[in-house]
Amino acid sequence: MKALDLKAAAASIDALWSPRVAAQVNDTYVKLARIQGDFVWHAHEHEDEMFVVLKGRLCIRFRDGDVWLEEGQALAIPRGVEHCPHAPEEVHIMLVEPAATVNTGDAQGDERKQDAPIWLE
């Protein structure tokens, strides 16, 4: 076993909006990602998910208003709640979600959908 430097691992990811699994804890994945711009509006019917900002500033848009997260802040989004991550500048995040979670949730046709998990190298 060895410690994982979350910030360095997130910075090493080569593509935006392409989460990498950093660890598995029981049936839950801990994922890291670099993001910028807008993602797709979506919801996860059966899974809650948590966003943790490692670097930068992230906006999570909801139909009834936005929540801004600063470095070191986190937000848990309950299953079924439609949301859209938005990052005006590059942000590094950690996601905590069940292993079965599809990154694009119920949205159809987004080219950023991951059909299988991609593990950190």
pLDDT at 109 over 90: no
Question: 52: closest CA among 70, 79, 29?
Answer: 70
pLDDT, the chain, mean: 95
Per-residue buried b or exposed e for 60-96, using 16+ beta carbons within 10 Å of the residue's own CB: bbeeeeeeebeeeeeeebeeeeebbbbbeeebbbbbb
pTM, full prediction:
0.94
Question: What residues contact residue 88 under an 8 Å CB cut-off, 6+ apart?
Answer: 36, 57, 59
Q: Mapping DSSP to helix (H, G, I), strand (E, B) and coil, where does residue 59 land?
A: strand
Stretch 13-23: mean pLDDT: 96
**CB 51, CB 60: distance < 8 Å:** yes
Confidence of residue 49 (pLDDT cuts 50, 70, 90): very high
pLDDT in tens, 68-96: 999 999 999 999 999 999 999 999 999 99
pLDDT of residue 91: 98
Residues facing residue 35 across a β-bridge: 91
Q: Distance (Å, rounded) from C-alpha 95 to C-alpha 62?
A: 18
